[in-house]
Structure 1
Amino acid sequence: MSKKSIDFKDSKYYNNRELSWIAFNDRVLEEARDKTNPLLERVRFLAITQSNLDEFFNVRVASLRKMVAVNYDTPDAAGMTPLQQLTAIAKAAHAMVDKQYTTWSRSLEPRLAELGIKLKAMDELSPHQQQFCRDYFEQELYPVLTPMGVDPTRPFPFLANNSLNLAIRLQRPEDEGDDNEKARSFATVQIPDMFPRVLRLPDGENDFILLENIIKAHLGSLFVGATIRETALFRVTRDMDLDVAEEDASDLMKEIQSQLKKRQRGKVMRLEIDAEMSKYLKKKLIKGLDIEKEADVYAIKGPIDLNVLSKLVKQVQGHSELQYPPFTPYLDQSLMQGNLFAQIREHDLFLQHPYDSFTPVVEFIHQAALDPQVLAVKMTLYRVSSKSPIISYLKLAAQNGKQVTVLVELKARFDEENNVHWAQELERAGCHVIYGLVGLKTHCKLALVVRRDEDGIRRYMHMATGNYNDVTARVYTDMGLFTADTEMGTDASNIFNMLSGFSEPAYFNKLVIAPLGIRDFLKERIEEEIAEAQAGRKALIAMKMNSLSDSDMIEALYRASAAGVKIHLIVRGICNLRVGIPGVSENITVHSIVGRFLEHSRIYYFYAGGEEHLYLSSADLMKRNLSRRVELLFPILQDDIHARICEIFQTMWDDNVKTRLLQPDNSWDRVDLRGVNKLDAQATFLAAAQAQTAAQLAHREDNQEDPQANRRFTPLTAPQDEEAGE
């Protein structure tokens, strides 16, 4: 087949986005099944798969349901209509749920029990433990619980998203007959979420019981005069996708707040029920909740909502060996002891989180708030922590007379309420708060400090691949750059002018933004690699991202591969690209790393005839990032930082412990470790950070060792497997 005759848009060359996401969640589930991981960390991974799946139904399944409701049947890049996608999703999701609970019941729960960590049933309790549960119910729970009967005078109650509830079949005196078949009265009781769902029991260091089991055992107190014939737990997942008509909203914040209230009443996307639930109760729920298809009902053989397992892990006492060893990020003390702006002016500074501490980023805003020479602080905020120190320092800067402008993205999914709160706090402190552009989410990570130096006005910047969130910076891998580059500073000012006013810069010097330019910029770099390959010279593209789903960018990569360009991709999550297609993607290799930390950094590298152009970005190669968000892509120009990032990428590329390889059949296989040395990239970076911390301490003690001497990444040998895989 000639290259000119290849239709790179052919649907058979693309994976479906949603099924690719489910494959990613399955890779997370594999970590729960991996016996080389500490046991309690395996339990955490299992809980993460539940959280991931919940959000998937809240948003992605909800979006497809809306398409079907309006008869939208245009196929995606993989040739699947929304209805076909929903059918395939249901099949894959049911298989995943079965795998989740098999992992719990056959592997994790028995191993925990061997170590004395137990979620006990009521019939397993000692008399003292039973008395504890009885007292807890009577003193704590009974005053709060509200039974909700359903009959012609009492409509089926509204049940909130992700709430746990008991479905109850009972027999009242007015029911005819006295046998079980005549017990047809129906009620629900919500498991209150203001109480801990996992309760520690007395007489056992790590004996626990689930809140719903205590309530079930004492339900009779709520239905005096009736006989309870059956109880079963269930949970609903609703449409939680926010639908804000910005063009029609005179006040975006009020519109967001209004939609937040409406969102809780979204249509039910999934019903999880106790697998032992009777047909009678199941039918009652399906009718009462307006469940459309049997496939939307998931029969659960274990504790409904595995998010509860993360709460269990937090309560386990002792057994530190069952968790990852504690880790303190490396903090370069020189960044904290002097004027940070003077250091940035001297040379660019690079941080790799979580191995490098996030503290210098917070200190950047802190020093800006206190420095009398600082005139203005401008910053974009997408997701911040609930007790963000950065917010505190922005408020301090405004109180100290600085011109503070903050773009708070109100539409950051599931952080809307938190961001509305922070926007109001910042406004009260005297900051100028802007909410972004109509129709676009502002996802770029950019902080700009304008300072009057001795030789005039200078701009100092921090740009990053991840959010200004001090909490997630401990568990997400991200990269950040401090620079005082003049041209980048001009570009940064133009970006903020564009966001806050009506400015439309004619061009940018070094920074590239979406939706105006990142797509075209990357395609131009790809075309340059194609030209190099066609000229018979070395051509290489290396990229790392969270997701790769934009069909236009995939087509460009296919064309590059067909031309002979070698392409190395590290994609954590969704990957719509397929490998191993003759004449199309034979030169593309895709890795995915799933480990202790969530891989979040975005790296874009092009060999460029030996010039080796390197960029970091807030943007994945997804249509939403490139076309519907304000994103930032910035070059790495300082030689030592350039070399370090390339070394970081190579270490990740060489990982053979936590890496999976995408196969031509769309499966993901682990690396064959026979006869090779193991290399765990995240463990390697952790070891390097710890060595650097130790070297810095020794340097302070005897002034003999340079802490930078241990910055090299020496591969860390992973422990050998002691048990065969499941």
Structure 2
Amino acid sequence: MYYFNRDLSWLSFNKRILQEAANPNVPLYERIKFLAIYSSNLDEFFRVRVASIRSIINIDKKKIYKHLSDDPRVVLDAILKEVNEQQQYFGRIKREEIIPELKKHGVVLYRDEQPLNDHYEVINHYFRSRVLSYLQPHILTGKKTRKVFLENKQLYFVIDLVGQSKEPDYALINIPSNFLDRFVKLPTINEVHYFIAIDDIIRENLDFLFPNYEIKGCYSIKLNRDAELNIEDEYSGDLVKKIQKQITKRNLGVPSRFLYDAKMPKEMVEYIKERFELVDDDMVPGGRYHNMNDLFGLKNPLSPELEYNYKPPLKIGSIEGYKSIFDAIDESDLLMHFPYQSYDYVLRFFNEAALDPEVKQIKATFYRIAPESFICNALISAAINGKSVVVFVELKARFDEQNNLKWAEKMKAAGIKIIYSMPGLKVHAKVAVVTRKNTKGQKVNYGYFGTGNFNEKTAAIYADQALLSNNEKLTSELDQLFLFLEKQETPNFESLLVSQFNIIDRFESLIDREIENAKAGRKALIIIKINNLQHQGMISKLYDASNAGVKIDMIVRSICCLVPGVKDMSENINVHRIVDQYLEHSRAFYFYNNGDDELYQGSADWMNRNLERRIEVVFPILKGEFKAQVIKMLELQINDNVKGVKLDHNLNNAPIEGALKVRSQVDFYEYLNRLGQPAVG
């Protein structure tokens, strides 16, 4: 096997999430969050990836399969098999570990057991005063039944009824978890905290909803629908046209997964399948409850117990001594590590730019905007203050389209020049440039180069880096990038690595240099940290480097199509994966270069879409002390044997042994703290 299938490798990553949910050393409510993350991830996977695979299956094999490295039918069967096994694992963790552990700590989440008598009055009152107004029961059988559309991700019950005619009837009723809290807090009794799912509140009141029927059974269902993914973002060339043609033949939001309680009688399953025009591939048996991403909303009455102790973000001493952040940048470039260090410095950069009378122009790219964005508000203030502000807003950021459009319209109304998505091209770069006059009256560009979005909400939980610099070479090339986005003027990049222009050639040349050093008997080392690795050209180049004797350490959070540890192919390549309290999001590219270290960071993963069909920016880390910080981070992550695993050649997340325990996220925080940055507060 030369490459892992990308979807099966992603499922391996999601299983790693489940391993954290099963880990007894993780605080209990953090384990519950990992269950929620797993469930949310899987929903998106079915809406996007599985939906696209099934689209391909419906296209004439002779016309389409020649474009693919894997038979989509075989892949889909393997996906469904793996997901079924993971769902059973999920259920065992929740049922046999999480629920009992909650009870040990005095937290009861009603499930199969009957509520206490003291809670019945509260449950019934909540049902009549809150739940009832959202319910829309439908009798599915009989002559007067009407067509029902199952909403995406909406929860429903299918109920087995027997009426006066003694003929079986089926009913459908929605579970309004999208309007009400999924888990309702009940009165505490004898210092025990009780919660009940809104599903079970409805179960307890089915007689009220169907007074003339005998209730024989009640089973939960959920339908995922096609997310209408941007096909061009996943595939290319003639294949895109064929898939798009297939999609136009279908109804909007075609089913991609129908999840139902595995205890539902077979004849009811067959009826539902026919009634809602489903096919066998849609049907996925599951547990009593669905939409377990709602576990995010299960409140911890013992907080902060049973949760991670999140340490306060660190101050950066090299900024704190300056009245203006621009004065600090004039003195030296600044490298920031989030969330270990405060994101407030990014807010300061934009806030000061908005009010500084010497700032003449601000340009920025946005991929995922925070719902309540301080940065966008600062840019609005800058425009109102008479500054020229240009913002590129990506409207094809999956599932963030509506929020991005809202902010784009708001900024445009304030006088900001908005550049929307370019046809056939996503802008994924996380960059900004501020043009300011210095004390000598000279124009100076101040560049922001990031690995993560301009999003203060995600910055608290995503591990990223950002560079602030007035390096003339870097900022002039950044200015060229914005001119390309504004006017399609052809840029010339030498220091920056930019997708669509020079990124693949530059990465290949950097790898080739390590190959030459290895062949000459010199030390050769590559360390690459990315979220996803799919691009076969880059993988083949890494295989070449491995065969030449280059030692390669990869830190790949999610998709990894490279098969590590295979003799005469990848025996010198190790792939590490880290799942901890923060989501590893930064990208870093280190090349030993015969002792003259060369290091880059940026927004680009090694996916086909990132290297070939997006605008990504990768920037050099030039200052020695910043190189040392990033290399220290990489070393800690490679040696992490607490939250790190190694991906083996069978897609297993293998534990890493070691007498000295290394937990990279905790240890890196302490490393930064020892550099002399006191904690905030």
Please point out which of 544, 549, 552 is paired with 2:534: 549
Equivalent position amino acid for 1:504 in 2: T
1:459 aligns with 2:452: no
Structure 2 counterpart SS, 1:143: helix
1:338 aligns with 2:323: yes
- Residue matched to 1:475: 461
Please point out which of 227, 251, 274 is paired with 1:240: 227
- Residue matched to 2:656: 671
1:565-593 residue CA offsets vs partner (Å, 9 max, x unmatched): 11111111111111222221111111111
1:121-180 residue CA offsets vs partner (Å, 9 max, x unmatched): 48532223100111111122223311123244433411111111111222334x3xx3xx
Q: Is the 8 A contact 1:330 1:692 kept in 2?
A: no
- Residue matched to 1:225: 212
Please point out which of 652, 663, 675 is paired with 2:637: 652
Structure 1 counterpart SS, 2:634: helix
TM-score normalized with structure 2 length: 0.93
Matches within 5 A, 1:200-349: 200-204=185-189, 205-243=192-230, 265-293=252-280, 295-312=281-298, 315-332=299-316, 335=319, 338-349=323-334
Write the distance in 2 (CA, Å) between the matches of 1:565 and 1:389: 45
Question: Which has the higher mean CA deviation after the structures are superposed, 269-278 or 118-127?
Answer: 118-127
Question: Which has the higher mean CA deviation after the structures are superposed, 381-390 or 213-222?
Answer: 213-222
- Residue matched to 1:5: none
- Residue matched to 1:159: 150
Q: Is the 8 A contact 1:405 1:431 kept in 2?
A: yes
Write the distance in 1 (CA, Å) between the matches of 2:210 and 2:450: 57
Q: Is the 8 A contact 1:329 1:690 kept in 2?
A: no
Equivalent position amino acid for 1:640 in 2: E
Please point out which of 679, 685, 695 is paired with 2:668: 685
Q: Which runs of 5+ in 2 are unaligned?
A: 234-248
Question: Which has the higher mean CA deviation after the structures are superposed, 279-288 or 438-447?
Answer: 279-288
Equivalent position amino acid for 2:314 in 1: Y
Distance 1:333 1:149, change over 3 A: farther
What is the percent sequence identity of the aligned residues? 35
Please point out which of 473, 477, 485 is paired with 1:491: 477
- Residue matched to 2:33: 44
Q: Is the 8 A contact 1:240 1:263 kept in 2?
A: no
Quote how far apart the aligned CAs of 1:219 are.
Answer: 2.5
- Residue matched to 1:620: 605
1:536 aligns with 2:521: yes
Quote how far apart the aligned CAs of 1:292 are.
Answer: 1.5
- Residue matched to 1:97: 87
Q: Which runs of 5+ in 1 are unaligned?
A: 1-11, 247-261, 699-726
Equivalent position amino acid for 2:261 in 1: D
Matches within 5 A, 1:182-197: 182-197=167-182
Distance 1:693 1:306, change over 3 A: farther
Equivalent position amino acid for 2:40 in 1: S
- Residue matched to 1:561: 546
Structure 2 counterpart SS, 1:298: strand
Question: Which has the higher mean CA deviation after the structures are superposed, 443-452 or 431-440?
Answer: 431-440
1:429-486 residue CA offsets vs partner (Å, 9 max, x unmatched): 1101111321111000001001111331010011011111101111111011000000
Equivalent position amino acid for 2:340 in 1: Y
Q: Is the 8 A contact 1:268 1:289 kept in 2?
A: no
- Residue matched to 2:13: 24
Q: Is the 8 A contact 1:268 1:290 kept in 2?
A: no
TM-score normalized with structure 1 length: 0.87
- Residue matched to 2:246: none
Question: Which has the higher mean CA deviation after the structures are superposed, 538-547 or 123-132?
Answer: 123-132
Q: Is the 8 A contact 1:160 1:265 kept in 2?
A: no
Distance 1:528 1:203, change over 3 A: closer
Write the distance in 1 (CA, Å) between the matches of 2:660 and 2:341: 26
Distance 1:116 1:299, change over 3 A: farther
Equivalent position amino acid for 1:31 in 2: E
Distance 1:277 1:522, change over 3 A: same
Quote how far apart the aligned CAs of 1:690 are.
Answer: 5.4
Quote how far apart the aligned CAs of 1:302 are.
Answer: 4.1
Q: Is the 8 A contact 1:14 1:78 kept in 2?
A: no
1:85 aligns with 2:75: yes
Please point out which of 592, 602, 607 is paired with 2:577: 592
Equivalent position amino acid for 2:105 in 1: L
Write the distance in 2 (CA, Å) between the matches of 1:232 and 1:347: 63
Q: Is the 8 A contact 1:72 1:82 kept in 2?
A: no
Structure 2 counterpart SS, 1:201: strand
Quote how far apart the aligned CAs of 1:190 are.
Answer: 4.0
Write the distance in 2 (CA, Å) between the matches of 1:688 and 1:559: 35
Write the distance in 2 (CA, Å) between the matches of 1:209 and 1:192: 12
- Residue matched to 2:494: 509
Please point out which of 21, 30, 53 is paired with 1:64: 53
Structure 1 counterpart SS, 2:187: coil
Quote how far apart the aligned CAs of 1:695 are.
Answer: 4.3
- Residue matched to 1:9: none
1:468-512 residue CA offsets vs partner (Å, 9 max, x unmatched): 11011111110110000001111111100111112112x213112
Distance 1:47 1:90, change over 3 A: same
Quote how far apart the aligned CAs of 1:65 are.
Answer: 0.9
Please point out which of 34, 38, 42 is paired with 2:23: 34
Write the distance in 1 (CA, Å) between the matches of 2:294 and 2:204: 20
1:421 aligns with 2:406: yes
Number of equivalenced pairs: 660
Q: Is the 8 A contact 2:134 2:176 kept in 1?
A: no
Quote how far apart the aligned CAs of 1:308 are.
Answer: 2.4
Question: Which has the higher mean CA deviation after the structures are superposed, 134-143 or 226-235?
Answer: 226-235
Quote how far apart the aligned CAs of 1:692 are.
Answer: 6.3
Write the distance in 2 (CA, Å) between the matches of 1:692 and 1:272: 51
Q: Is the 8 A contact 1:199 1:211 kept in 2?
A: yes
Please point out which of 111, 118, 130 is paired with 2:120: 130
Quote how far apart the aligned CAs of 1:222 are.
Answer: 2.9
Write the distance in 1 (CA, Å) between the matches of 2:606 and 2:134: 48
Write the distance in 1 (CA, Å) between the matches of 2:377 and 2:251: 31
Write the distance in 1 (CA, Å) between the matches of 2:620 and 2:250: 40
Matches within 5 A, 1:387-402: 387-402=372-387
- Residue matched to 2:161: 170
Write the distance in 2 (CA, Å) between the matches of 1:192 and 1:532: 59
Quote how far apart the aligned CAs of 1:218 are.
Answer: 1.3
Equivalent position amino acid for 1:659 in 2: G
Quote how far apart the aligned CAs of 1:397 are.
Answer: 0.5
